[in-house]
A and B are shown apart, each in its own frame.
Chain A
Amino acid sequence: MLMEVKALSTEFKLKRGTVRAVDDISFTIDEGEILAIVGESGSGKSVTALSIMGLLQNPGRIAGGEILFKSQDLNKLSQKELQKIRGNRISMIFQEPMTSLNPVWRIKDQIMESIMTHMKVSQKEALARTIEMLDTVGIPSPAERANDYPHQMSGGMRQRVMTAMALSCGPDLLIADEPTTALDVTIQAQILELLYRMREKFGMAVLLITHDLGVVSEAADRVIVMYCGKIVEEADVKSLFARPLHPYTVGLLQSIPQIDDESDEPLYMIKGMVPNPLRMPRGCPFSDRCDRCLERCSQEMPKLQDVDGHKVRCFLYDVVSEGGHAQNE
């Protein structure tokens, strides 16, 4: 096991109250595994990533829990100790390739900075490694493009540069926060393919954060579905797509347009809106949008429980009180 997150909670203290963006979540990542976290914006998936990286900015802070990376609690490390891990053992690529690179630095200087921060190498070796990495991520004529400024590259190229930068120190874990969202569809596929290929080549684990189930189905080994800061379902990718359990996951899957769908029925939409994070319902956060809401759903919070190899947070599968999942069939 590479990483184990235990009961992590992250809060934002705002003037009008405290928002618990990540609420008591636990999961593990194995070495070399691609784990996807899926959810709408505001579901806390990006905040989870930033919490792991120790990159939360005011007013955000980790309210509790442990982030065990190789049995070491990152949450207990000082910023200085974290800096040794960040960009080195754990690195991250972001959603916006257009704005995530420093506009006034040459590409090579930005990658070399990463290498020279963490590895004891000379300037020359760092440059050689930079060009090698650019080549690996598929930048044509890397030695020349290394001298470019970010604005001279396309979005897809910049995301490749970001990937090269993130992988330059050979991390054990790569966190990819919506790496394809800002890109054209054709480029999206290329970047996903790149991530996959890099995993094969370097063997690092990937935490893939996305709102796009299509991306998940192509790339991930295992999936966590988050809603309002909570894990609502967790399963391996095949089983999740074949047999989603939580009504939210079901809704998400139904709202993906299918090419071979010949019926005239309109595309399914989950009704309602994500609740205001300052006024969370008392019970299940999805209760007021759920098609199959039970009476107790709005009163108490269901627990995450094992059902058929899934973990799911829903009273529909509560064996004791509702008579098991037979009801679901």
Chain B
Amino acid sequence: MGKKYSSNSDGNLIQAAEYVEKPESQLKEMWETLRQNKAAVVGLFIICFLVLIALSVWVSGLLGKQILPYDPNHSDMTKSFIWPNAEHWFGTDQLGRDLFSRILDGTKISLFVGVAAVSISLSTGVLLGSIAGYRGGRTDAIIMRVMDMMLAIPSILLAIAFMAALGKGIDKAVIAIGLVSIPEYARIVRASILSVKENDYVQAAKVIGSSDSRIIMKHILPNIISLIVVRATLGISTAVLDTAALGFLGLGVQPPFAEWGDMLGRARGFIFNAPYTLIFPGIAITMTVLAFNLLGDGLRDALDPKSRIK
């Protein structure tokens, strides 16, 4: 359908009315719009909260101190399956580990895998997409056909296959999840580059003899960076979901590390006896994914001139 602005003059009028002061910079204006988006602010707030938890758990772990109420990996069979109470807020699991501590501990793994996997797919995808879009011709055709092939396989199946080949573990999970979403980034970047490439300033840079990589870095990427930021934010939420899915299938992070999907997978057998062991990790996953989705949606709206008018 494209972006067709209706040309009736009440539209003009509204635009005219909104066009009061010129924004100082695009990024600043984006931030202003984002700030007015309550949902995005909530998302950002939750993300900051999660990052804070993850960092403090991680740093205190490095210093050998325990800031969690219990050692997340300490099992005590005499304490297994305690329902949530004042001592164990979220109860204990089949091995008597405190679920509240484990869920807080799991924050660092989910965020780490999410960010690391997106970094892999982002950097590779941007690189491939830039080359394809900028070079065109045969290079473009080959790269994009490979991307099409990867897209034809459901990503979770592809990720599982990678895990089978690479073996289990957190680092493998990062690679597998990172690899499967490369095509998405490559496609977006390629499409944007194709549209930016023909602009006069890019042509001018070519004429004065700038190198290709310089043109891409200096002239093209800054123009599509905001698009990539939106995509990456939403990409983290997908990566967190995929991590949980791999963990659930028993392929992700290996014990004794606490990972939310893995916790769900191992507690599945107790679904009718101890349903609480399955509820809290799921809430943690959903909240994290939701936060990144809220922020991503807000960023996208902030970028879209059409929504700014409204």
Question: Which A residues form the contact surface with B (CB < 8 A)?
Answer: 12, 14, 16-17, 19, 21, 41-42, 44-47, 50, 56-57, 60, 94-96, 99, 177, 182, 274, 276-278
Contacts and interface: CB of A to CB of B under 8 A. Distances in A.
B307 interface: no
Residue with the greatest number of chain A CB neighbours at <10 A, chosen from B13, B14, B18:
B13
13 contacts: A12-B14, A12-B17, A16-B20, A42-B9, A42-B12, A42-B16, A46-B8, A50-B8, A94-B8, A99-B4, A99-B6, A99-B7, A276-B17
Contacts of B12: 41-42
Contacts of A277: 13, 16-17
Contacts of B8: 46, 50, 94-95, 177
Interface centre among B10, B12, B14, B16 (most CB of A within 10 A): B10
A47 B17 contact: no
A21 B14 CA distance: 10
A50 B6 CA distance: 14
Given A19-B13, A278-B20, 13 more contacts: A12-B13, A12-B17, A16-B17, A19-B14, A19-B17, A42-B12, A42-B13, A46-B8, A46-B10, A47-B10, A56-B10, A96-B7, A182-B7
A18 B14 CA distance: 10
Contacts of A12: 10, 13-14, 17
Contacts of A45: 9
Contacts of B14: 12, 14, 19
B24 to A, nearest CB: 18
A16 B13 contact: no
B46 to A, nearest CB: 27
B255 to A, nearest CB: 54
Nearest to B8: A46
**B9, B12, B13: most-surrounded residue (chain A CB, <10 A):** B9
Interface of A is mostly: loop
A57 B17 contact: no
Contact of B10 (A17, A60, A95, A182): A60
Interface of B: 4, 6-10, 12-14, 16-18, 20
Contacts of B6: 96, 99
B19 to A, nearest CB: 8
A248 to B, nearest CB: 18
Contacts of B4: 99
A12 B6 CA distance: 17
Contacts of B18: 14, 16
B7 A276 contact: no
A96 B4 CA distance: 12
A21 B20 contact: no
Nearest to A96: B7
Contacts of A16: 17-18, 20
A21 B9 CA distance: 10
A309 B301 CA distance: 54
A19 B15 CA distance: 12
B172 to A, nearest CB: 49
A212 to B, nearest CB: 14
Contacts of A60: 10
B309 to A, nearest CB: 10
B306 to A, nearest CB: 15
What 7 A-B pairs come out closest when comparing CB atoms? A46-B9, A41-B12, A277-B17, A42-B13, A19-B17, A41-B9, A278-B17
Nearest to B9: A46
Contact of A50 (B7, B10, B17, B20): B10
A95 B7 contact: yes
Contacts of A274: 16
B10 A276 contact: no
A278 B9 CA distance: 16
A277 B4 CA distance: 25
B154 to A, nearest CB: 32
A105 B10 CA distance: 27
A175 to B, nearest CB: 13
A276 B17 CA distance: 6
A281 B9 CA distance: 21
B32 to A, nearest CB: 13
A12 B10 CA distance: 9
Given A12-B14, A14-B14, A99-B4, A47 B9 contact: yes
A76 to B, nearest CB: 22
A60 B4 CA distance: 21
A92 to B, nearest CB: 11
A39 to B, nearest CB: 9
A44 B7 CA distance: 14
A93 to B, nearest CB: 13
A47 B20 contact: no
A57 B13 CA distance: 13
A19 B7 CA distance: 19
A42 B20 CA distance: 15
Nearest to A18: B17
Nearest to B16: A42
